[in-house]
Copies of this chain bind each other. A is one copy, B any other.
Amino acid sequence: MQGIAVIGIGQTQIGEHWSVSLRELAGQAVFAALADASMGKVDGLFVGNMLSGTLVRQESLGVLVADWVGQKNREAFKVEAACGSGAAALRTAIMAVSSGEMDTALAVGVEKMTETKGPETAAALATAADADYEAFQGVSFVALNALIMQRYIHTYGWQHSDFAPFSINAHANAVNNPYARLREPISEQAYRDARMIATPINLLDASPIGDGAAALVITSTEHLAPTREKPVIEIKASTSSTDTLAVHDRQDPLFLEAAYKSARRAYAQAGINPQDIDLFELHDAFSIMSALSLEACGFAERGQAPRLALDGGIQLSGSLPITTLGGLKARGHPVGATGIYQIVEVVQQLRGAAGRNQIPDARIGMAQNIGGSGATVLTHILERIS
């Protein structure tokens, strides 16, 4: 892959932004990213978004955002891969730069989810699953993950409370992230007592939805200004794979094959081993997904990820810090924007700009964004090279 660097990052706080429109929300992130990159214009703009057609009644998101942020006449369109839409927009931007079609590109993730009623939002989220063979049966997206978690607990002999460290760690890390939606620490007792949503997933296993936007400016490293003050963060790997869309079609629903393939190819592309990774922003939409991602990416044996968490390995001081600024669980999960938030946070860490949550000497960071229940998986590895 040609050398590509992230030279600008921007993000909005995740919350209920009822007074801010979709384009304004995206604009806040874009303007922050452009300012961070000290740039006014880019050559193209790709928007990651899942639900704007359903919940905001707005498609044409590419031109909507390009027009609003003063990038008229640029190429712009929207990319959708359910909750993996953000990283898919980044993939598109990377291919655009790497093909030589453009020198600089913006990848923007944006989602507005809180102005509709709960059942409407839940039904919209179910469009990430197989409409004909899963959602049609009344299976919600939480319920699908609950089936997987139930099976995992049964197969490997864990207790529900063994998953507590994933949520506790995410909440602890979000406290210091001003962009996070849930900045309250939670206790193990609170986790045990949380309201059940779809057995065995309780409220504190699940990430909160939210309105939010995040943006990245990328450029070919050939065009990097030599006088840059900020560290150069290069994208060393960008890969994507797919599994079956429906969970029941998988030989083993406890193994994220697409995550495995995507990660393995990313390691090869970057020329590294999992052990070289200093932090991992994974897709903890539900705590069970943290476990499955860690295993698929080679950080834990099959069925043993809860052990890594219980031993503290996933904490900021652990062997593999995850969700270092709150993850989906506590930073929040504005679905189509999440993949961009993850990369923004990896860049914060690699720049040494993660504040009180800084991983000392972080040099290599990985982000993994998942659409559907492991159906579409995108993996990016970034490295500080100056």
Contacts and interface: CB of A to CB of B under 8 A. Distances in A.
A123 to B, nearest CB: 7
Contacts of A308: none
A79 B126 CA distance: 19
A241 B44 CA distance: 9
A67 interface: yes
Contacts of A244: 63, 67, 72
Contact of A99 (B78, B99, B371): B99
Interface secondary structure of A, over-half rule: mixed
A128 B59 contact: yes
B72 A60 contact: no
A372 B371 CA distance: 27
A194 interface: no
B79 A77 contact: yes
A67 B242 contact: yes
Interface stretch (A34-42, A129-137, A157-165, A342-350): A129-137
Contacts of A60: 80-82, 127-130, 245, 371-372, 375-376
A59 B80 contact: yes
A62 B77 contact: no
Interface stretch (A7-15, A88-96, A322-330): A88-96
Contacts of A16: none
- Copy number of this protein in the oligomer? 2
Contacts of A56: 131
B21 A240 contact: no
A80 B61 contact: yes
B54 A81 contact: no
Contacts of A84: 77
A242 B61 CA distance: 12
Interface of A: 1-2, 21, 23, 50-51, 53-54, 56-64, 66-67, 71-82, 84-85, 88, 91-92, 94-96, 98-101, 123-124, 126-132, 135, 239-246, 249, 257-258, 261, 371-372, 375-376
30 contacts: A1-B100, A2-B99, A54-B54, A57-B127, A57-B135, A59-B82, A59-B127, A60-B130, A62-B376, A63-B81, A63-B243, A63-B375, A64-B130, A72-B243, A73-B257, A73-B261, A74-B241, A75-B240, A75-B241, A75-B242, A76-B376, A77-B79, A77-B84, A77-B85, A77-B240, A78-B79, A80-B80, A92-B95, A96-B99, A98-B101
